[in-house]
A and B are shown apart, each in its own frame.
Chain A
Amino acid sequence: MSDAKKAAGWTPEQPMVSIKDLHKSFGDLEVLKGISLDVMKGECICIIGPSGSGKSTLIRCVNALNDIQKGSILVEGQEVNDPDLDKLELRKKVGMVFQQYNLFPHKTAIENIMMAPITVLKQDKEDVAKHAKSLIRKVRLEGKEDSYPGELSGGQQQRVAIARALAMTPDVMLFDEVTAALDPETVKEVLVTIQELAEEGMTCILVTHEMGFAKEVADHIYFTDRGVIVEHGPPKTFFKKAKDPRTKEFLSQIL
């Protein structure tokens, strides 16, 4: 743990990500209307809900891709809603994977993985290369190191994107509907990768429509609708004993 993290006075017993009364608007449109949730170290939570309910906005706020109007997000004790936020410090702790992969198309798979540790963290190139190779193995893309993103399938690109985020050795991973753009066959290979990560103890926050996956992997499920958390609970009780009519309706449409 770096000195900066210690200085924030955070200990692993406290929530790794702590969101309190989060409000977020785009112009006059209030997208998040007071969201609160905690994620402990090693936990994997899934956020589900109809489109437009603010799920993606919520996790984009966690690594400051969206600014916040009101409320607080603490990541290992670091306040994200702070005009003097040290974004680099935050983004070293938080990795993110996007729906559209967003790889750098002019760099090969291995270069995509190596770029940020070299330019941002100024790590030694040889160490980074070693780490990148082990990450390539981890996401099962041996032999694809020197392929460009345009030469890879969607599922392969998404696994490169996961490896790219992991190369920064984050403490929390955000997954924003990472399988939504994939073919049904390739969804599984990406989900397996995420599942392995979660099992290894990586703290994960997922926005997903994969209910089966959520049921299997998540420690806790949050259902959002129109900017609020309607209902939440561990998967066992959540899927069987949903109380709120909105949750029931949503689940009946999806399951």
Chain B
Amino acid sequence: MELFGDFFKQLYDTTGWNFVIFYDQVEWDRFIAAIWTTIRLIIACLIFSVIVGFAGAWAQGAKSRIIRYGMAGYIQFFRNTPPFVQILFFYFVVGNLTPSYDAGGYQQAYIGSFGWAVISLGFFAGAFNTEIFRSGIEAVPESTVEAASSLGYTRLQSYIYVVFPLAFRVCLPALNNNLVNLLKTTTLAYGIAVPEMMYTANQIWSDNVNVPEMMIVLFLFYVGLVAVLVWGMHRWEKAMKIPGYG
């Protein structure tokens, strides 16, 4: 570790390239904290958006017209507005309307910037996931669902045991795409001061005046994260493959 730090210190002294995070303990700690925050943010957003997508696709097939129209409105709203505006809107408008508690002299909202980032990004990607899941559900032949109902399955049971497993396989590539997009979109949480990688990099380069170096680190960091996600999704696709089908 010391050798590693010495190398970058040497690099700075000889060439002027200042990768301060690799030899300064304080900046290193900031960097590591940002990694964890980013990963937590991504995982929370991914999970929340997939749940929203499932629920949304389910609601789109609901009998109640109000629920169906509500879903259509939700999708239009989140698809037709920029995600950055959504994050700011949730944090500054909706956040102001939610309850807060007295945190020793000032009011602290129960949901902080991290929470609002997860909520707004989750709903944003969830709108797309809803459409992706719907396309998968529609690809499951009506006759297969009929076979399930003729075996006594309720609508919910046939969704859980037949429709979703098949639909999921159909829409995995599209889901894969959308989740990669979501991963990258989490950088917008920067706008409401979630201390994730984008925000932290900005702080570091403000303190150390090393914008190009931190930009390179940022790029490599996200390249690595996306590679891990894509690798995982591909493995999942492979594992879900059905012999003799599709």
A binds B: yes
A residues in contact (CB < 8 Å) with B = 63, 65, 87-88, 91-92, 94-96, 98, 100, 102-106, 115-116, 119-121, 147-152, 161, 164-165, 168
> 5 shortest A-B CB distances, which residue pairs?
A150-B244, A102-B147, A116-B151, A91-B152, A120-B152
B37 to chain A, nearest CB (A): 38
Q: Does B150 contact A (CB under 8 A)?
A: yes
List the B side residues contacting A103 at CB < 8 Å: 147
Q: Does B29 contact A (CB under 8 A)?
A: no
* CB <8 Å contact, A88 and B154: yes
With A65-B146, A102-B143, A106-B169 in contact, is A116–B153 under 8 Å at CB? yes
One of B157-165, B177-185, B213-221 at the interface: B157-165
* CB <8 Å contact, B243 and A151: yes
Q: Does B149 contact A (CB under 8 A)?
A: yes
**Given A92-B152, A102-B146, A116-B152, 8 additional A-B pairs, CB 8 A:** A88-B154, A94-B150, A102-B144, A104-B161, A105-B144, A105-B242, A147-B243, A165-B150
With A63-B150, A65-B149, A164-B151 in contact, is A149–B161 under 8 Å at CB? no
List the A side residues contacting B211 at CB < 8 Å: none
List the B side residues contacting A147 at CB < 8 Å: 243
Cα of A93 to Cα of B3 in the assembled complex, Å: 76
Q: Does B4 contact A (CB under 8 A)?
A: no
Cα of A51 to Cα of B161 in the assembled complex, Å: 33
List the B side residues contacting A92 at CB < 8 Å: 152
List the B side residues contacting A150 at CB < 8 Å: 242-245
List the B side residues contacting A115 at CB < 8 Å: 151, 161
23 A-B residue pairs with CB within 8 Å: A65-B146, A91-B149, A91-B152, A98-B143, A98-B146, A103-B147, A104-B166, A105-B166, A106-B169, A115-B151, A115-B161, A116-B153, A119-B153, A119-B157, A120-B151, A121-B152, A148-B242, A148-B243, A148-B245, A149-B245, A150-B243, A151-B243, A165-B151
List the B side residues contacting A149 at CB < 8 Å: 244-245
Main secondary structure of the interface of B (DSSP, over half): helix
List the A side residues contacting B150 at CB < 8 Å: 63, 65, 91, 94-96, 165
* CB <8 Å contact, B243 and A98: no
For B151, the closest partner residue in chain A by CB is A116
Cα of A96 to Cα of B141 in the assembled complex, Å: 17
Cα of A148 to Cα of B240 in the assembled complex, Å: 13
B residues in contact (CB < 8 Å) with A = 141, 143-144, 146-154, 157, 161-162, 165-166, 169, 242-245
For B243, the closest partner residue in chain A by CB is A148
* CB <8 Å contact, B244 and A148: yes
List the B side residues contacting A63 at CB < 8 Å: 150
List the A side residues contacting B147 at CB < 8 Å: 96, 98, 102-104, 161
List the A side residues contacting B152 at CB < 8 Å: 87-88, 91-92, 116, 120-121, 168
List the A side residues contacting B149 at CB < 8 Å: 65, 87, 91
Cα of A8 to Cα of B154 in the assembled complex, Å: 23
B154 to chain A, nearest CB (A): 7
For B165, the closest partner residue in chain A by CB is A106
Cα of A95 to Cα of B165 in the assembled complex, Å: 24
With A91-B152, A96-B150 in contact, is A119–B161 under 8 Å at CB? yes
B74 to chain A, nearest CB (A): 30
List the B side residues contacting A152 at CB < 8 Å: 244
> Which of B152, B161, B169, B245 is packed against the most chain A CB atoms within 10 Å?
B152
Cα of A238 to Cα of B72 in the assembled complex, Å: 57
Cα of A119 to Cα of B152 in the assembled complex, Å: 9
List the B side residues contacting A98 at CB < 8 Å: 143, 146-147
For A93, the closest partner residue in chain B by CB is B152
B20 to chain A, nearest CB (A): 52
List the A side residues contacting B165 at CB < 8 Å: 106
> Which of B151, B166, B169, B242 is packed against the most chain A CB atoms within 10 Å?
B151
Cα of A102 to Cα of B64 in the assembled complex, Å: 29
Cα of A94 to Cα of B146 in the assembled complex, Å: 14
List the A side residues contacting B166 at CB < 8 Å: 104-106
Cα of A116 to Cα of B152 in the assembled complex, Å: 7
> Which of A65, A152, A161 is packed against the most chain B CB atoms within 10 Å?
A65
Cα of A46 to Cα of B48 in the assembled complex, Å: 53
* CB <8 Å contact, A120 and B153: yes
List the B side residues contacting A95 at CB < 8 Å: 150
List the B side residues contacting A121 at CB < 8 Å: 152
